[in-house]
Structure 1
């Protein structure tokens, strides 16, 4: 195991590195699987062929269904985790000329062509000239997209933290701040101030983020929107879809299966 927490790419001259600027590795991840904080000497593109990944860096947190990947510049510390059973693809790209000059993590669109090219490059038996052509086409088709992250920061205040942990465990809990205040021995106003100060969000927005983040795991397992909405605390599917669009710019269907941002 290398310093980056993942299996090493192998010594120079191994079969998967000869004449290859991109090495594709596959990981079958169970729900909750995690690579702790690590980094790579190469650039990395992280993609969930199926399932959902989360990637956290000092610049933010991204939730990646199969329609999205993330470019992680070489040397960037990050954590990767699976929200559901996930077939993860890790593309390690040697720095060099002709690559995008993204110095910060960059969300990428993954359409059918990019997906097929990644699978093609994962093949161990490619001739060097075939691999070189496929790599060039893949690099040319890495298209950045605007992707809003669904980030859940936890408050530092001990009483607000008790509330936050309870809601992460059960996002559908409908209790108000006043009701939570009676539970943890605080006033609603004090809890509201703690959430705003520690997370940068109002309690209502924070709870929305928790609910939508929880929903992604259910949606990734193929559960219908009608069931997921109730599981995470929404009275109707339309209310859930409206909240999802407000936070991500996409409907749940577009988020997982591609499509333009909602306007």
Structure 2
């Protein structure tokens, strides 16, 4: 875990990123941008062949964004600005071809775009209760497990009513909503690693691909097939640069 003196935006031009903070895990596919304010302890985990772009913001711009970690739906303009701002990895402090005033204008456009965007997190809150932690650990290890909440409760010594209340009060969602978020997270990882849609659906607990496609689309905003195609297109475009761009 680390923290930074400046807030920063993270975008995966290819692959999938998971941003871990004390509040839980946020998954960042290619149509979203993660924001971590200054001082928040965090770490990033990349899945697949990931091209991670990072943009640090001055306090004058950072104050325009939320005071808490957030994930935004990235517009086409926001994505293009992020790619323009992040040059080859040998040039961490300046994207090639842009002076200070041009970079300042691009950063302001980027922040304005995100201020207009909706927060759309694929977020897995971190359980604090030991009973919830036990359930979360079991399902992280086996996301395809269709064991009912009642059966899981028997395993850890808690009633389904108690577990339902804990999910609602502590994590702000039902058990089934949380498990669906978890499964979509694992699906994103498998898709980034090159697995096909049918194999991914069964590996993450769906009885058939159509159910997986519906759940994935409802949360991510695009179908698994379009998500994969978009990632491949972006990856080809970014690989055409002299080197993989990293940080601004």
TM-score normalised over the length of structure 1: 0.67
Shift of 1:166: 0.7
For residue 196 of structure 2, the aligned residue among 224, 228, 232 is 224
> 1:241 — aligned with what?
213
Structure number having the greater helix percentage? 2
Shift of 1:173: 0.6
Aligned to 1:118: 85
What SS is found at the alignment partner of 1:39? coil
Matched, 1:139 2:111: no
Q: Distance in 2 between matches of 1:251 and 1:225?
A: 10
Q: 1:39 to 1:196 in 2, by over 3 A?
A: same
How far is 1:110 from its partner?
6.2
Counterpart Cα distance in 2 of 1:218 and 1:127: 32
- The equivalent position to 2:182 in structure 1, one of 188, 199, 210, is 210
CA contact (8 A) 1:47 1:68 kept: yes
**2:36 corresponds to 1:64:** no
Q: Give 1:243 deviation, angstroms.
A: 1.4
Unpaired runs of 5+ residues, structure 1, are 1-35, 259-263
In 2, the alpha carbon distance for the partners of 1:147 and 1:64 equals 12
Counterpart-to-counterpart distance in 2, 1:130 and 1:154: 40
| Pick aligned residue for 1:89 from 53, 56, 78 | 53
Report the CA distance between 1:228 and its aligned residue: 0.9
Q: Which residue of 2 aligns with 1:163?
A: 135
Partners of 1:187 and 1:212 lie apart in 2 by 26
Aligned mates of 1:216, 1:70 — CA distance in 2 = 16
Q: Distance in 1 between matches of 2:204 and 2:181?
A: 11
Q: For residues 155 and 22 of structure 2, what CA distance do their matches in structure 1 show? A: 34
Q: In 2, distance between residues paired with 1:193 and 1:156?
A: 14
- Range with greater deviation from structure 2 (126-135 or 180-189): 126-135
Partner of 1:39: 4
Q: Which residue of 47, 50, 54 corresponds with 2:14? A: 50
Aligned residue pairs: how many? 220
Structure 2: runs of 5 or more not aligned: 232-248
**Secondary structure at the counterpart of residue 87 of structure 1:** strand
Q: Which has the higher contact order (CA 8 A, sep 6+)?
A: 2
SS of aligned partner of 1:51: strand
In the superposition, relative to structure 1, how do residues 240 and 94 fare at CA in structure 2: closer, same or farther (>3 Å)?
same
Structure number with larger C-alpha Rg: 1
Q: For the aligned residues, what is the CA RMSD?
A: 3.4
Give the conservation status (yes or no) of the 8 Å contact 2:201–2:207: yes
* CA distance in 2 between partners of 1:156 and 1:93 (Å): 32
Distance apart, 1:134 and its partner CA: 5.0
Match of 1:13 in 2: none
| 1:203 Cα deviation from its structure 2 partner | 1.5
* Cα deviations by residue, 1:107-152 (Å, 9 ceiling, x for unpaired): 3626463354134475639799743365245325412232421222
Distance 1:126 1:146, change over 3 A: closer
Distance in structure 1 (CA, Å) of the matches to 2:84 and 2:43:
23
